[in-house]
Structure 1
Amino acid sequence: MRKALPPLIKALLEPARYANPTTPVARVELVETHASWLLLAGDFVYKIKKAVTLPFLDYGTLDKRRVCCEAELRLNRRFAADLYLNVVPIAGPPEDPQIGGTGPIIEYALRMRRFAEAGRLDHLCARGQLRPHHVANLATVITTFHECAATAPLATPFGQPKRVLAQASENFAELQALLPRHDEQSRLARLAEWTNCEFDRQAARFAARKAAGSVRECHGDLHLGNLVLIDERVRMFDCIEFSEDLRWIDVASEIAFTYIDLLDQRQPGLAGWLVNEWLSGSGDYDAVPVLRFYAVYRALVRAKVTAIRAAQANGDPGRAYAYLALAERLAEPARPRLIITHGVAGCGKSRASRRLLLGDPQASTLRLRSDVERKRLFGVAPAANSGSPAGGGIYTQDASEMTYQRLSELTANLLAAGWSVIVDAAFLERSRRDAFRALAAHAGVAFFIVAPQATPEQLRFRVRARLAKGHDASEATLAILERQLAGVETLGSDERNCLL
């Protein structure tokens, strides 16, 4: 049962306290979190911070709550200026508070514009209405935000290897106190050992990513409940304002949070799709080796937060145990495999690879698209037209060699990081297929080929339709299709044994 409400919150549930002559408030709804009260009144939301001190935040005094309200307003206006309006004082005695009143201030509230709660991504996910195109839009929103976010100066401790390990270690210390049962203590010990080993393997990479500018002033709390679909566009809100350590983080840690939340919602296809769309848009493949470390860390952060909430409400910590199990699964991924596609333009390679991604129950498959990576090599946006003639520009023989070499390097690195890889490329020549088959053998992973089939009439129809639609990374024309059909080297009998 809910504890008795504080007098201030109880009084603020009275609709008459929210003067709005144009849209009278008929009812005030209350949402409680472990650190805040949210009062939903008409067109607005008033967020009041609890006077609590937790291991990771301090709202213990009125002045600290004011400072945090002002910081929350400033930080969230980076990406949601239309939703975050102002900080308002609350005056008067707690039993008769006046929002925006004069006199001694007893509390502060962050005033926000209200949106339809049904549009939150966690609610969409629960109703089975979250779609790949929503997740693709989310990946674009995150990438765009990160590109504009401030970069942590090298002299700051944010994102330095010692700080990364310290945050993970603190997490375990807090979880050990929150989950005292013997079984959970043993599981936490194993996860702590994995975390330390993985950190040792990636310590140099953490440092390199800090030096490269990958540590930025991020959102910090990017789970599905802090994302909302408004007018078919995903919006972020409610970033972390109370801790610079939790906000100035590697962008890989940011994406890992949403990734594990989709996994927790039993949406591995969408989780994998998010990571792939983010990597395709950002080109930050250097993040992949540290992504699993951050995913385990984020799952354990969620375990800690849910355990704290359960303790506050004298409830069941079952959700914390579920996150613990998720962390264990992430720490022991399935053995990687390498899949390449084969076929001319319009045969359905990208559709087939998309199905494989969305169908991966482990969400541990990454796709490399030759059309996207070729353009990235030459500084061309994925959906932009390079203006290259057939066989010229970025499609010369030398450019193709560079593209396949880049795909090979990326594939080797991703496999070494423990992720399965799909290389979505034409692979019309036997020599190029053999090179990637040898790469799989060297990495000790299984090798497969996906070779969709279509009639010449279907191929021509699809190429014409794609060109008419535009906004696709592929620039294949009917003339290019005919050249491919004339030059394709069909699969040998040994290769047909690798068909997936």
Structure 2
Amino acid sequence: MTSITFSQLIEQLKKPEFYPHPVVEPIKVVQTHISAVFLTGDYAYKIKKPVNFGFLDFSTLEKREHFLNQELAMNKPVASEIYLEILPITQEGDQLKLGEGGQAVEYVLKMRQFPQECLFSSLFEAGKLTESQIQELGKLVAQFHAQTRTDDYIKSFGEIEKIKQAFDENYQQTDKYIGIAQTQKQFEETQAYTEKFFAEKGELFKQRREQDKIRESHGDLHLKNICLWNNKIYLFDRIEFNEPFRFVDVMYDVAFAVMDLDARGRKDLGNIFLNTYIEQTGDWEGLQVLPLYQSRQAYVRAKVTSFLLDDPSIEESVKQEAIKAASDYYRQAWEYTQQKSGKLILMSGLSGSGKSTVAQKLAADINAIHLRSDAVRKHLAAIPLSEKGGPEIYTPEMSQKTYHRLLELGIMLVKAGYPVILDAKYDRREWRAGAIAFAESENIPLEILYCTAPLEILSERLQTRSGDISDATPDLLASQQTHFEAFSEIEQPYVKTLDTTAGN
């Protein structure tokens, strides 16, 4: 900038007369460690701070202009109603103007302003963020990832050496906050976990690249970057300034949203989002890398919050709040790295007996992975979950494949430390036997939750069911009841019967 400091620029943009349109006074300024956003009423204006943190460099006017244009280009496809244009801030003498002739001293991103109460973070704080909205978010993120691009260059960022660089940088940039916002023990154990993960999981990272799970993702998917506006959910503020932060495993994005909900004390909502997403995508293998990225995302929030301690423009009271917030995030990052014990739960019962309803509630309560046979079956058949399956996906051979895949996934996830709920009829002893044998051989806790209700109630439920991925119809019930194999003496100790007649 010429003859004007950043602080003076902020003061200019806070003045109503700076804007060529009516504004709502006073103009509110929202600052982060890298930007400032000015809320004027109908429009919001974003400028980037002249900072260089290594992982981003906005130190020159040219770089700030470049990255604002990048931000516009990346967010237009997902939020075209919000992202409008880049404008210069020009100087004529001592006068600053927006988008007029003269020498450009700064650039600003003009956006359509939506009410701040539309942010998912605001909805959450107001107690208005619902389970159904979280489910819709899970589906939206799944669709978003399906449409994002990947190629050999992008997939190269899934190599351990490149992923590890960001982790190493995080630790290098935060050791100075030991004793201020985190403990030596947390720092050392969090770092040791990631070092071990990278050393031992080479094949897993290779599979993620080969399965095209490294994509141009969002990169910063937490509640403050999601809004519900005009009855539509928008993902916005994608990472534009650093390729390694956006050319990432799709679970990197998922981990950020789950971590944010966890940090806000709502692991149940994080669980609902996670289970919705993975059911839509079928990416249950991705759960193996989720804890690594959850820890990383919590650590990043701790790091950027810590950076506020070094900003001379931030008030002391805000810095004290930042220390507490950073401490909480550092602790959370460490907690994700701690060893966890898995558990296996089988749902059992006829169609309409409430298995999935019970399983969904239980999963949210104990933070379990909920695997529905209906989803597994359709992913095996490569048909959309929203489509009705034909008779070819309900043959004995396909059912055998479905139950085999269910158990395979269950074993993988239990070994990774997850509580897992396998949600299917489990009406045959041979299918239950595999789960029992695994649990007993590995000394894994096992439960079989048998849901039951009168046939007329099951029939009514199936008759009125809508919007569900299950294809079951009332005419199947008599046959299901006839072929259900009763629990043996060996199975009985694991069985808990749930009468769902009154609903659940």
Give the alignment's TM-score, normalised by structure 1: 0.93
Q: Which residue of the partner structure matches residue 344 of structure 1?
A: 350
Alpha-carbon distance in structure 1 between the residues aligned to 2:182 and 2:162: 29
Contact in 1 for aligned 2:154/2:214 (Cα 8 Å):
no
Report matched runs for 1:276-425 at 5 Å: 276-312=275-311, 313=314, 314=316, 315-316=319-320, 317-360=323-366, 363=367, 365-388=368-391, 393-425=392-424
Alpha-carbon distance in structure 2 between the residues aligned to 1:129 and 1:438: 45
Deviation at 1:156, TM superposition (A): 6.5
Q: Deviations over 1:28-75 (max 9, x none)?
A: 221111111111112100001111111321111111100011000001
Deviation at 1:152, TM superposition (A): 4.0
| Worse overlay, 24-33 or 62-71 | 24-33
Deviation at 1:93, TM superposition (A): 5.6
Equivalent position amino acid for 1:115 in 2 = F
State the SS of the aligned residue for 2:152: coil
State the SS of the aligned residue for 2:286: helix
Deviation at 1:332, TM superposition (A): 1.7
Structure 1 unmatched runs, 5+: none
1:465 aligns with 2:468: no
State the SS of the aligned residue for 2:452: coil
Contact in 2 for aligned 1:94/1:106 (Cα 8 Å):
no
Q: Deviations over 1:357-414 (max 9, x none)?
A: 1112xx3x111111111111112211211233xxxx2112111111111112111211
Q: Which residue of the partner structure matches residue 9 of structure 1?
A: 10
Report matched runs for 1:161-200 at 5 Å: 161-181=160-180, 184-200=183-199
State the SS of the aligned residue for 2:491: helix
State the SS of the aligned residue for 1:158: helix
Contact in 2 for aligned 1:16/1:25 (Cα 8 Å):
no
Equivalent position amino acid for 2:346 in 1 = I
**Gap change, CA 1:183 and 1:308, over 3 Å in 2:** closer
Report matched runs for 1:44-123 at 5 Å: 44-92=43-91, 96-123=95-122
Structure 2 unmatched runs, 5+: 497-504
RMSD: 1.9
Q: Which residue of the partner structure matches residue 500 of structure 2?
A: none
State the SS of the aligned residue for 1:98: strand
Equivalent position amino acid for 1:288 in 2 = L
Contact in 2 for aligned 1:119/1:228 (Cα 8 Å):
yes
Alpha-carbon distance in structure 2 between the residues aligned to 1:154 and 1:475: 41
Deviation at 1:341, TM superposition (A): 0.5
Alpha-carbon distance in structure 2 between the residues aligned to 1:148 and 1:498: 43
1:18 aligns with 2:19: yes
Deviation at 1:130, TM superposition (A): 1.6
Equivalent position amino acid for 1:326 in 2 = Q
Contact in 2 for aligned 1:199/1:293 (Cα 8 Å):
no
| Worse overlay, 69-78 or 88-97 | 88-97
Deviation at 1:444, TM superposition (A): 3.0
Q: Deviations over 1:262-291 (max 9, x none)?
A: 100111011111111111111112211111
Equivalent position amino acid for 1:273 in 2 = I
Q: Deviations over 1:282-308 (max 9, x none)?
A: 111221111111111111111101111
State the SS of the aligned residue for 2:76: helix
Deviation at 1:162, TM superposition (A): 0.8
Alpha-carbon distance in structure 2 between the residues aligned to 1:197 and 1:444: 25
State the SS of the aligned residue for 2:234: strand
